[in-house]
Structure 1
Amino acid sequence: MAQIIIDGDACPVTNSVIELTKGTSIFVTVVRSFSHFSTTIQPDHVNIIYVDDGPDAVDYKIVKLVQPNDIVITQDYGLASLLLNKAKLVMHHKGFIYNQHNINTLLEQRHASAQFRKSGGRTKGPSAFTSEDVALFEQRFLSIINESSLFTEE
């Protein structure tokens, strides 16, 4: 059965996904490192998986978990690039879908910024995540799950 997998360490839309999937047959798995441990009780359709705090531990776990019909939500371009041929869909928390056309540009921009910082330059971080960003994500996420035959009862 298809599920939503969230790269949950710094995902600002985790609560939105959990809320929007309540009362559906959609199962949500959130993968987090132990440094983000929470005792908050989750609804029955949500599973939280904790992994070591090591670098990329969450990413490795997601790569192991993902199945061909899953939808993954991550802001990590590297992880997204690994999942494009493995998951049904890979989505950013700003609402855009990663694909073969945009992933190389995103990775190249990330690399260029890293090289610039290594040489002593300073780059701006991402803009603040706003309520408008949440609304846009929720609209696009609902559209995807409503149009997807993956989540309908058969």
Structure 2
Amino acid sequence: MTVYIDADACPVKAEAERVATRHKVKMVLVSNGGIRPPANPLVETVIVPEGPDVADMWIADRAGPGDVVVTQDIPLAAKCVGNGALVLKPNGEALTEANVGNALATRDLMYDLRAADPFRQGGGRAFSKADRSRFLDALERVLRKAKGAG
């Protein structure tokens, strides 16, 4: 079991490290640079080359059954769910076979709406303490469940 973190712009790296360490689970931070490698022996830092979706492809090529992926990237989430991994967004929302298709369709729709109206602003809400708390709870539950199944 490995916890893969899509680390570029991930707001819950420290929280994920705490939970993974408590469960003695390996964690891999994947980014294209700009993050400080932690001293924790359970945490590996992987720096991939610059380029579109390089970190996503690295994670998707490795994550599978029994692994947990933390990402906000819906296409990456869809690939990982298809590979059998458990996927959590940083706000604690689980992406599963039952909902990842809908999330992908919504993402594509929002992209099209933004492209059609160049004056449309982001519209997303800020990451909150409640999101962080939900993530911690969700990761704790997922790791307990995965360890119990193993």
Calculate the TM-score normalised by the size of structure 2.
0.89
| 1:44-63 alignment, distance < 5 Å | 44-63=41-60
Contact 1:113-1:123 within 8 A present in 2 as well: no
Does residue 145 (structure 1) correspond to residue 143 (structure 2)? The answer is: yes
Distance 1:23 1:105 in 2: 33
SS in 2 for 1:22: helix
- In the alignment, what sits opposite 1:111? 108
Q: Which of the residues 77, 91, 94 maps onto 2:91?
A: 94
Q: String of CA shifts for 1:134-153, please: whole Å, max 9, x gaps.
A: 1111011111212223686x
Structure 1 unmatched runs, 5+: none
Q: 1:69 aligns with which of 60, 66, 80?
A: 66
Q: Report the equivalent of 2:14.
A: 15
Paired with 2:40 and 2:149, the residues of 1 have a C-alpha distance of 18
The number of equivalent residue pairs is 149
TM-superposition CA deviations, 1:83-141 (whole Å, max 9, x none): 11213311111111111221122111111111112212514332111111111110111
Assess if the C-alpha contact under 8 Å between 1:145 and 1:151 holds in 2. no
1:80 to 66, 77, 80: 77
- Measure the CA separation in 2 of the matches of 1:19 and 1:7: 16
**Unpaired runs of at least 5, structure 2:** none
- Greater shift, 112-121 or 51-60, is seen at 112-121
**Root-mean-square deviation over aligned CA pairs:** 1.8
**Aligned ranges for residues 31-46 of structure 1 at < 5 Å?**
31-34=30-33, 36-38=34-36, 40-46=37-43
Q: Take 1:103 and 1:66, find their aligned partners in 2: how far apart are those partners?
A: 16
TM-score normalised to the size of structure 1?
0.87
Please, which moves more after superposition, 75-84 or 120-129?
120-129
- Give 1:8 deviation, angstroms: 0.6
Does the 8 Å CA contact 1:26/1:151 hold for their aligned counterparts? no
Query: 1:7, 1:32 within 8 Å by CA — same for their partners in 2?
Result: yes
Structure 2: distance between partners of 1:150 and 1:63: 24
